[in-house]
Amino acid sequence: MKILEERIEKDGKLIEGNILLVDKFLNHQMDPFLFLEMGLELKRLFEDENITKILTIESSGIGISCVAALTFGVPVLSAKKNKAKNLRDCYVTQVASFTRGGVYDVFVARDYLNPDDRVLIIDDFLAEGNALLGLADIVKQSGATLVGAGIAIEKAFQAGGERVRNMGIRVESLAIIESMNDNGIVFRH
Amino acid sequence: MKILEERIEKDGKLIEGNILLVDKFLNHQMDPFLFLEMGLELKRLFEDENITKILTIESSGIGISCVAALTFGVPVLSAKKNKAKNLRDCYVTQVASFTRGGVYDVFVARDYLNPDDRVLIIDDFLAEGNALLGLADIVKQSGATLVGAGIAIEKAFQAGGERVRNMGIRVESLAIIESMNDNGIVFRH
């Protein structure tokens, strides 16, 4: 998606050669009109799939998901990383965390995901794929149909994209980074 | 805001007489069209204020803020509860937490808030007002102008609304709960 690639080039910041900061427009400061463009593109890609629910994970997937949900006309469900005491009957799965270290639990209330649902997962990044696989596991537990995943930025030099696609999950990434280093970012088209 | 009050009555759940669960449409499962209605109402209320930025706090304020930001045509800045190692130069403030217990730090990168900004804070709940006062402190540190706060649900029987208004901060709550108990919810108009 050209507009997203251009934005990454313009406002993204590469530090230490291999960390891409996009907190100017994607996950700290957020551009709602970019999110709307991304939502429209995801709607085009998954047009015929009769999506009934968007599933994401707090917190950096929420903004994109809520704006994209306007284009799909469906609710967003945001998996929780902490089990609020009022969240009673939940699907639970474990997600390995690169940034946090270790493994953490992720929760979704059973009430809001059921076998009739056709689910699109949306998230900001796909790197090792752990969060995405955790969300896919929750969809499986619920008996709902996982239609696919819409990702803002995929790092193709990490293993997640291949892992997830090898499981037969359709992944559509709006910007795919083939490589990045001090010379800049190369996108895969 | 009638549509929000009706939604609270229809889909909210009162447990233990004094806890209001709105996770069906506001903070776990989220209705993007309700958020759009709320955004349009906030835009109407703050129409002449030349808002340049919406400030919220992760994670349950993000969805409302990103959809509302479409009506204002401005970016959203989401204060972080954990300082990511890549978030370098930050405004920091302390927020007392009722649900977590104790006090936690909240971070906003200095790059994204400056003296020219006219800031609207948006959050899902106003109860004791601690998160809102923390965000107001960050705005003050930055030298930006705090125009006011747009809240989805204010619990008028808790101290926050009065505390914040007594500091001269304009607060517009889209639904104000005067009281709630086993007999139901009474809204203030």
- Token pair in block for residue A189: 């088209």
pLDDT at B1: 97
Give this prediction's pTM: 0.97
Task: Label residue B99 by pLDDT band (50, 70, 90).
Answer: low
- Determine contact: B167 vs chain A, CB below 8 A: no
Query: Residue range A160-180: average pLDDT?
Result: 97
> Which of B35, B67, B109 lies closest to A28 in CB terms?
B109
Shortest distance, CA A102 to any CA of chain B (angstroms): 16
- Token pair in block for residue A81: 């990383």
A82: DSSP letter: S
> Which of A28, A30, A78 lies closest to B66 in CB terms?
A30
Q: What mean pLDDT is reported for chain B?
A: 95
Per-residue pLDDT of A88-100, as tens digits, reads 799 999 998 876 6
Per-residue pLDDT of B103-152, as tens digits, reads 999 999 999 999 999 999 999 999 999 999 999 999 999 999 999 999 99
Please name the fold of domain B2-78+112-180.
Answer: Rossmann fold (3.40.50)
pLDDT at A63: 98
User: Is the Cβ pair A66, B15 closer than 8 Å?
Assistant: no
- Non-local CB neighbours of B47 within 8 Å, separated by 6+ positions: none
Peptide bond into A97 cis (omega under 30): no
pLDDT at A138: 98
pLDDT at B9 over 70: yes
Amino acid at A158: Q
Contact B45, B172 (CB under 8 A): yes
- Non-local CB neighbours of A44 within 8 Å, separated by 6+ positions: none
pLDDT at A19 over 80: yes
Kindly compute the dihedral angle of the four CA atoms of residues B112, B115, B120, B123, in this order, to the nearest 10 degrees: 50
pLDDT at A99: 67
User: Is the Cβ pair A78, B30 closer than 8 Å?
Assistant: yes
Please name the fold of domain A2-187.
Answer: Rossmann fold (3.40.50)
Which residues from B are below 8 Å from A111, CB to CB?
24
